[in-house]
Amino acid sequence: MPQIGSFTLLLALALAAYSLVAGALALYRKDDRLTETARRAGIACWAAVTVASVALVMAAFGNDFSVAYIMHHSNRDLPLAYKFAALWSGQEGSLLLWAWLLSTYGLVMRLRYKVDPQLTAYASAIVAAVQVFFLLLVNFAAHPFGLVKGMIPPDGNGLNPLLQYPEMVIHPPMLYLGYVGVTAPFAFALGALMMKYPGEKWIHITRRWTMVAWLFLTVGIFLGAHWAYEVLGWGGYWGWDPVENASLLPWLTMTAFLHSVIMQEKRGMMKMWNMWLIFTTFLLAIFGTFLTRSGVVSSVHAFAQSGIGIWFVWFIAIAFATCVYVFVRNRDTLRSEHRLDSLVSRESSFLFNNLVLLVSCFAVLWGTLFPVLSEWVTGSKVTVGPPFFNRVNVPIGLFLVFLTGVGPLLAWRQTSIDSLRRNFLVPTVLAVVAAIALIVGGMRPWQDSAYFYSLMAIALSVFVTGTIAGEFWRGGRVIARQQNVSIFSGMVQITRRNTRRYGGYLVHMGVVLVVIGFAGLPFNIDKEQELGFGDKMQIGHYTLVCQSYTQDDKPNYSSEWAVLDVYKNGKKLDTMFPERRFYKASEQTSTIVANRSRLNEDLYLVYTGRNPDTGKPIIKAHVNPLVAWIWIGIHLLLIGTIIALLPSTKPAKYAISAKDREAVAAVKGGAVGVGSD
Amino acid sequence: MTELTNLKLETRNPKLRLAQLALIAVMAIGFMGADIDARFTKLGHQMMCMCGCNQVLLECNHVGCAYSDRMRNELTAGLEKGDNDSLILQSFVQKYGNTVLSAPTSSGFNVVAWIMPFAVFAVATALAVWLVRLWKARPVLHPVATPNLAAEELDALRKKAREETEF
């Protein structure tokens, strides 16, 4: 297997290099046959990288510990699914996954070349250039098929226990699909600029690519958050770790791009801005990969420090220089066709939406890199942790939520006062009522800024919900009147007729639910206590009673856990089993959280260990309000994006009777007559 | 309220006075405890665990973490000794270095960390508003006589208008 893998990786590099050189030459010479061979070389490159990836997985399945990567990231007793996940659990394997996913995106692009052969030829050459970089890495800097020196060990070191969780089998591929997916719209955008592509067709072509990449990145980020919540056992889902931030940066710019691109499609505006947004997104995706793998910033998620950072620095520099060069040469083709007419218009709202997203992106990047900057300037390193990011990003995020509600309801060009009143009166009243209700219900926003932000988040969420519900209601009512169907049926139909718009609203609604989930954060409570047989712990309105604690031994790990009955107001609600595992191969421990999740709050129990003196388990309990809404919101966001990706249906046509047809003809005749006059 | 206080102070019933004192003592202990708990939570979130997990001190849950328990005990000791927040944080910085603080301080070069995002936000917003106003202030074109357009041209214009008014 290692020989096959090594050979196919070299072959893939040769094919990608051919696809790049021949593709570029063909575009220069306008040689269609050469273009075709470059395209086919790109397709063959996918086959070669696929064989290499399969070879690595087969080496893991076959316990081939002669391969150093398999020896470091797998062991005999590891379940098959996790052996498969070993493909991306280390530096070398994950870079191979990058290369494979990039080849797969390239494959789809090259198979669908008839959409626009010329533009695809440019994009294909650009993708090939990125492929060459990653294949150089896996061939010469981080080779996944390197062999163990000396005697082959009988068993491997095993997979990091934190990664032995079902979600970890899908979280990294999702995230990588997002990161890598950015390459496709980047390639189309740069290609369009290189060839001075007339019109906005390239925007239509890349829209789906961008949305798919955005969807994967979003799902990847939130799967990571859910994994952190369910596995790491610290009671939270987002720690503003540099690696988490690295995934957020391209997500923010891509979100900005998805909005501002509408301006270009509808009004021929922000062309230069859009070009730079997609360039920046690509560069940030590569920069994020660099952060994760170079050791520039310290992170628990980062791969082992290695010398591949300098490869990324060069690649980012070359990519940036290429973008600047092409932009400077061809920027004349990106002149706006219109200007903004009013501050109160949809164009303005898109502009501010982009501005806020970009400022948020800057704040995250700034905070992530500030320790490096501080060390460089003052010689002393500082920590930039959650308090900084929360204080800076929460107000920016709230402004963005406000724009989420306002933007879609503003008219293009200019919005009248009447229209503002009509669209926003009810949502504003609802938001004010919600804020008052929360204060009456006991929330004290003046006591702490966190409570204030929480109140604002909920009030703004109500406001946005009101505006979105109003849009569905108005649209559904029109259809209901026209076709004599129920309002709900009308809403479904209006969504099917304009999937992009109403799918977008559902995405916004998903974001609102996520924000509601975040709003519960200041009200989290936690408590740690040693619990023997029959001992009780009181947290919030829950009483936990320890029924027993025991241990077990499995081939891959040994474990100990507690059995805790949960009571509320004297009534038994549930029995929970927080657990701690000791993985034999890696000799590492991991917690398995017991979480009782409800819409109002989660009861989250962690088995933190045993008191060595008494032998009793120590349980840490958290009550985290509203967390479930985050995961519900993500599902809605996913559904909304899928709907927005679907093509819209045309309005239904109705059978017209002969009598009606005559009447229509008469009216038409009359209209012509009137017009003739 | 004043009347009630006076009434309490003026009471001469020894049992009632004893009960009052006991109540005040219980309340004081309760408030003291609550204050220490609140300060523990607040300060514990202003510091990082130094075990290398990159987590806030009170959120580090590494099994067998050699640092977090020790640091929490030091924090509790500082609070029980009656040290103020700044003194406690200072003692941690002296012992563990600047990186123990979970966010940059607002002094020296660190203040740049706090100012920069908001400065960028303010400048970008001002720039956007200025641009919109500038574009808006451009002279309005006077209407010209309606051109005699062919049906195809009218269709194209209608299509464009439709596109521009749809989401």
Which of B81, B103, B125 marks a domain boundary?
Answer: B103
Asked if B127 and B83 sit in the same domain, the reply is no
Which pLDDT score, from 0 to 100, does residue B67 have? Answer: 83
Residues 496-525 on A with a CB inside 8 Å of B are 498, 500-501, 504
**pLDDT band for position A73 (50/70/90)?**
confident
Query: Under 8 Å CB-to-CB from A427, ≥6 apart: which residues?
Result: A405, A462, A463, A464, A465, A466, A467, A470
Q: A260 near A213, Cβ under 8 Å?
A: no
User: Are A412 and B121 inside 8 Å of each other by CB?
Assistant: no
CATH number for the domain including B20?
Answer: 1.10.8.640
* B113-126 per-position pLDDT tens digit: 999 999 998 998 88
Q: Between chains, do A340 and B118 touch, taking CB under 8 Å as contact?
A: no
Q: Both B64 and B48 in a single domain?
A: yes
Q: Which amino acid is at B130?
A: W
* Structural domain boundaries, residue B24: 1-103
Which tokens is A583 given? 């993985």
Question: For chain A, what is the largest distance between any 2 Cα atoms, rounded to a whole number of angstroms?
Answer: 103
Q: How far is A618 from chain B (nearest CA, A)?
A: 11
Q: Is B108 in the same domain as B150?
A: yes
Q: Which residues contact B96 (CB under 8 A, 6 or more apart)?
A: B50, B71
In 3-state terms chain A splits into helix, strand, coil percentages (rounded to 5) of 65, 10, 25
Q: Do A234 and B61 touch (CB under 8 A)?
A: yes
Q: What are phi and psi of A596, to 5 degrees?
A: -105, 100
B5 and B20 inside one domain: yes
For residue A660, pLDDT over 60 is answered with no
Residue indicated by tokens 């107000």: A395
Which SS3 state, helix, strand or coil, does residue A609 take? strand
Residue A364, Cβ density class (10 Å: 0-12 exposed, 13-18 middle, ≥19 buried) = buried
- Distance between CA A492 and CA A472 in Å, rounded? 9
d(CA B40, CA B71): 11
Task: Note the residue count of chain A.
Answer: 677
Where is the domain boundary, B83, B103, B123?
A: B103
Nearest of A309, A292, A291, A313 to residue A301 by alpha carbon: A292
Residues B81 and B160 both lie in one domain: no
> B88 and B123: one domain?
no
Residue A74 contacts residue A60 (beta carbons within 8 Å): yes
Q: Nearest CA to A384 among B102, B118, B92?
A: B102
Place of tokens 């400048």: B123
Helix (H, G, I), strand (E, B) or coil at A553: strand
Nearest to A298 among B54, B98, B120 (CB): B54
Based on the fold, state whether residues B37 and B64 are members of the same structural domain.
Answer: yes
What pLDDT, on a 0 to 100 scale, did the predictor assign at position A519?
A: 94
Is-contact B104 A368, C-beta < 8 A? no
Tens-digit pLDDT profile for residues A10-37 = 999 999 999 999 999 999 888 889 999 9
Residues B110 and B67 in one domain: no
Q: Domain ends where: B80, B103, B126?
A: B103
Note the pLDDT tens digit of each residue in A523-573. Answer: 988 888 889 899 999 999 999 999 988 888 888 788 898 999 999 988 999
Q: Report CB contact under 8 Å: A385, B56.
A: yes
The interface pTM score, or ipTM, of the predicted complex is 0.77
Counted residue by residue, chain B has a size of 167
Burial of B161 (0-12, 13-18, 19+ CB in 10 A): exposed
Q: How many domains does the structure of chain B reveal?
A: 2
Cβ-contact A18, A34 below 8 angstroms: no
Q: Which residues of A touch B136 (CB under 8 A)?
A: 340-343
Q: Are B87 and B112 part of one and the same domain?
A: no
- Lowest mean pLDDT: which of A32-46, A577-591, A619-633, A653-667? A653-667
- Decide if A345 contacts A414 (C-beta within 8 A): yes
541-580 in chain A: CB under 8 A from chain B: 580
Torsion angle in degrees (nearest 10) through CA of B158, B159, B161, B165: 140
Q: In 10 A of CB B62, how many CB atoms?
A: 21
CA separation for the pair A525, A539 (Å, rounded): 8
| Among candidate residues A399, A360, A91, A97, the one with its CA nearest the CA of residue A245 | A360
Q: Do A236 and B124 touch (CB under 8 A)?
A: no
Task: Tell me: do B30 and B63 sit in the same domain.
Answer: yes
Ramachandran region, residue A534 (left: φ > 0; alpha: ψ -120 to 50; beta: rest): left
Q: Helix or strand or coil: residue A474?
A: helix
HEC per residue, A213-238: HHHHHHHHHHHHHHHHHHHHCCCCCC
> Got the DSSP string for A325-364?
HHHHHHGGGG--S-----SSSHHHHHHHHHHHHHHHHHHH
Q: What is the per-residue pLDDT for A24?
A: 93
Same domain membership, residue B79 and residue B120: no
- The CA distance from B62 to B64, in Å, is 6
This prediction has a pTM of 0.84
CB–CB of A521/A452 below 8 Å? no
Q: How far apart are CA B44 and CA B68, in angstroms?
A: 10
Taking CA–CA distances from A264, the nearest residue in chain B reads: B164
Strands A601-610 and A594-597: antiparallel
Residue among A233, A262, A363 whose CB faces B61 most closely: A233
pLDDT at B8: 44
- Closest CB to A382: pick one of B61, B99, B164: B99
Which pLDDT belongs to residue A581? 87
Least confident of A343-347, A385-389, B48-52: A343-347
- Claim to verify: residue B112 and residue B99 sit in the same structural domain: no
